[in-house]
Amino acid sequence: MEKPILYIVIPCYNEEEVLPITSGEFLAKINELADLGKISNESRVLFVNDGSRDRTWEIITELAQKDEHFIGISQSRNRGHQNAVLAGLMEAKDKADITISIDCDGQDDINAMNNMVDAYLDGCEIVYGVRSKRDTDSFFKRFTAQGFYKLLNAMGAEVVYNHADYRLVSSRVLQEFSDFKEVNLYLRGMFPLVGFKSTSVYYERHERIAGESHYPLGKMLGLAFDGITSLSIKPIRIITGIGTFISLLSFLAIIWTFIMFYMKHSVVGWASTISIICFIGGVQLICLGVLGEYIGKIYMEVKHRPRYIISDRTWEEKER
């Protein structure tokens, strides 16, 4: 069997401080795996510049000039982490036998790649990198992340617990995945839907080696909400359930009021009436918001806008 070509896909947004350090580690890993005879020497480190405003793209082009194992593509503007990863994966789809997506900040343990490639050689098509410990994350981040995975699974979206976007995918899976045309991307919830034999590899998550996280609380909550509404329509069902329950309750209340009226015990108290109206009004607004979220998603989907636009490559494209 020929040795598989591995492409390591790395999204980079304003990472000028980090890239000079981690790029060397990625290259060393490719060389190590090739020396061990596990992957082909044609393997590459593929950087995806996500419209950075600093020197990131310059650093990537310099790296590509220095060593042929480094290549890079640049998006025409910043489109977010998920779209950057997708752009890299689609670029690698026809060139690589396997891809591993990983962040460029050194938080995910590069050494887990050995086990990932082994799992692939044993016949797995998708290998999920799973954080075994989250000691380096703040208590708050760990707590919210845990709640979020539980919530996602309760909502019927299949997501591997503590897996972010560090994963190995075979080109066969990528070919099938390219038929998933949605604009609202939540990759970690979409890959399990492709199926095929998969497994998990555990690793410890480190501190970011330099720079700052691009995912502060607000953005994280946004990603969480996107995850749920992209993968599940259970919230709409829950709304229907709550609506039915409240309607039934109010129906019983009406009957009770009538009975009391005919028995000459009129029900007093407008305060209780007002509070119930306010309560139901609030519930209705929340429901409208959730429905609106889905309608917004449909709106984005039907526009069929491109999910990424590549403006530059570090190499010349032959065809075209």
* Residues found near ligand UDP in the complex (CB under 6 A): 11-13, 15, 50, 78, 80-81, 84, 103-105, 107, 208, 213-215
Question: 154-186: buried (b, 16+ CB within 10 Å) or exposed (e) per residue?
Answer: ebebebbebbbbbbbbbbebbeebeeeeebbbb
Question: Of 103 and 125, which has the nearer Cβ to ligand UDP?
Answer: 103
200 contact choice in Mg ion, ligand UDP, none (CB below 5 to 8 Å, kind-dependent) = none
Q: What is the DSSP string of 157-210?
A: ----TTEEEEEEEEHHHHHHHTT---SS--HHHHHHHH-SSEEEEEEE----SS
Long-range Cβ contact pairs of 144-147 (< 8 A, separation 24 or more)? 144/220, 144/224
Q: How far is the CB of 11 from Mg ion (least distance, A)?
A: 10
Question: Of 5 and 84, which has the nearer Cβ to ligand UDP?
Answer: 84
125 contact choice in Mg ion, ligand UDP, none (CB below 5 to 8 Å, kind-dependent) = none
Binding site for Mg ion (CB under 5 A): 103, 105, 107
Dihedrals φ, ψ of 128, to 5°?
A: -90, 130
Question: Of 97 and 103, which has the nearer Cβ to Mg ion?
Answer: 103
Q: How far is the CB of 155 from Mg ion (least distance, A)?
A: 25
57 contact choice in ligand UDP, Mg ion, none (CB below 5 to 8 Å, kind-dependent) = none
Question: Of 134 and 234, which has the nearer Cβ to ligand UDP?
Answer: 134
**Residue 50: strand, helix, or coil:** coil
Which residues make beta-bridge pairs with 204? 133
172 contact choice in ligand UDP, Mg ion, none (CB below 5 to 8 Å, kind-dependent) = none
**Cβ contact 75:88 at 8 Å:** no
134 contact choice in Mg ion, ligand UDP, none (CB below 5 to 8 Å, kind-dependent) = none
- Residue 255, Cα to own-chain centre: how many angstroms? 50
Q: How far is the CB of 164 from ligand UDP (least distance, A)?
A: 7
Question: Of 105 and 109, which has the nearer Cβ to Mg ion?
Answer: 105
State the residue number with the nearest CB to ligand UDP: 213
Question: Of 89 and 104, which has the nearer Cβ to ligand UDP?
Answer: 104
